[in-house]
Amino acid sequence: MFIKDVEIEDTFAEAFRMYAARLVITSETERWALTAARVAAGFATSVIGCGCEAGIEGFVSDTPDGRPGVSCLFFAVSREELEKQLLRRVGQGVMTAPMSACFNGLAAEKHCTIGGKLRFFGDGYQISKLFNQRRFWRIPVMDGEFVVEETFAVKEAVGGGNFILLGQNTAVTLKAAEAAVGAIAGMEGVILPFPGGIVRSGSKVGSKYKFLPASTNTAYCPTLRGQTCSALPPGVNCVLEIVINGLDQEKVETAMQKGIEAAAIPGIMRITAGNYGGNLGKYKLFLHKLMGGAG
């Protein structure tokens, strides 16, 4: 299969079941809501080393307190780990930001307790309020009160949707990756957790070192072409990957489709995807099927 003269490999991206939560962070101004969101969602590129994966979904106009808001998505491998991460990130990244508040942004049956635990920071002066069957905690802080919802909904989600760009050089490959990020940016229900939406340090399972669960994806490293079993065709000198997390499989697939279409520019020799033979992840996202062709 070719899209705009760029080969689409007949393979699949292997994605994983994760658990997701959506936080709506508000403040007096859009700038401060975005600042709190950036801090809360920082250092969250991969569960391998960060504990969770997170990103900013977009701005929110209709918020519980009527103030400017930013929506963030957080993903972890279990509901327990997600609760642990949210407690840290809301407590350290949102509650510390001037005039901030934090609300649940998902509808789901399962929940984790966040405000109900952070309330103890109020040292006994915290106050709860029930509004429209939702319980909020008002925690006294030095600029007034930090309002945070007692529980946040958690749902099963999809993490690790991906596609890989094989380009002639760094300039064209980065241009294609940026085009893919631009096509996906602003989509509801998906995030790109890596820096600027792009990852250059793709990984494989395992390592020659027993203490490492993952290591550099040697098959896609141009400098190792003559030293290892390479997956790179002649002429490829740069590889960049786009990783997508979403609230469901359909959202991830749509984002992959849009991203691949945008990234198919002159100088990209092949677009492929990362998988582990279908042995680890629950979801197999076939590129030819996504792009409307026969596998």
Is domain 2-15+159-290 given the CATH code 3.30.70.520 in the classification?
Answer: yes
Q: Which CATH code fits 18-155?
A: 3.30.70.520
Q: Which of 267, 111, 102 is nearest to 175 (CA)?
A: 267
The whole-number pLDDT of residue 293 equals 61
Model confidence at 277, pLDDT cuts 50, 70, 90, reads confident
How far apart (Å, rounded) are the C-alpha atoms in residues 283 and 131? 39
Q: Which of 245, 263, 200 is nearest to 57 (CA)?
A: 245
Give mean pLDDT, residues 241-256.
98
Residue type, 115: G
218 has a pLDDT exceeding 50: yes
Count of residues in the chain: 295
Q: Which pLDDT tens digit goes with each residue over 184-195? A: 999 999 999 999
248 has a pLDDT exceeding 70: yes
Both structure tokens of 224: 């190792």
Chain region(s) in the chain for CATH 3.30.70.520: 2-15+159-290, 18-155
Q: What's the Rg (C-alpha) of the chain?
A: 21
Write down the residue that tokens 């669960």 correspond to.
213
294 has a pLDDT exceeding 90: no
